Amino acid sequence: MSYTITAMAFLIASALFDLFGTKIALLRRRAFWSSYAIILPFQLLTNWWLTSRNIVMYRSGAITGLRIASAPVEDLFFGFALVLSVLTLWVKAGKKD
């Protein structure tokens, strides 16, 4: 479950970075959750594409085996952490303008 553990760690780290590391706190913003609501279906669709066609394959020991639309549930955490961290830094960079 190495992917599971790392994905959870990245999810938590991205939330801590947003809320306390940068104090940007996008997690408390309606605009962020609305954006993620738009991104999520595309995330599910692209994850489905990559996994159902076996473009990306996972070692069974690395994941829980719980899958959503063909993709390991870990991929959702991975994507959320990626999107949140980038958007946090995007806002932070904008404050300097």
Partner 1 sequence: MGKWGYVGMLAFTVLGSFWLEIAFRVRVLQRIKRALFAIAPVALVFIIWDALAIAHHDWSFDPQQILGIIGPFQIPLEEYLFFLVVPLAAIMTIEAVRRVKPHWHIGDET
Q: Which is nearer to partner 1, 15 or 26 (CB)?
A: 26
Q: Which is nearer to partner 1, 20 or 90 (CB)?
A: 90
Smallest separation (angstroms) from partner 1 to the CB of 35? 4
CA distances from residue 22 to 16, 27, 72, 87, 91 in whole angstroms, order as listed? 9, 12, 30, 12, 10
Are 72 and 2 contacting, i.e. CB atoms less than 8 angstroms apart?
no
Smallest separation (angstroms) from partner 1 to the CB of 53? 6
Compute CA 53 distance to the chain's CA centroid, rounded to the nearest angstrom: 21
Provide the 10 A C-beta neighbour count for residue 26.
Answer: 22
Which residues bind to partner 1, rule: CB under 8 A?
Answer: 2-3, 6, 10, 24-26, 29-32, 34-35, 38-39, 42, 46, 49-50, 53-59, 62, 79, 82-83, 85-87, 89-95, 97
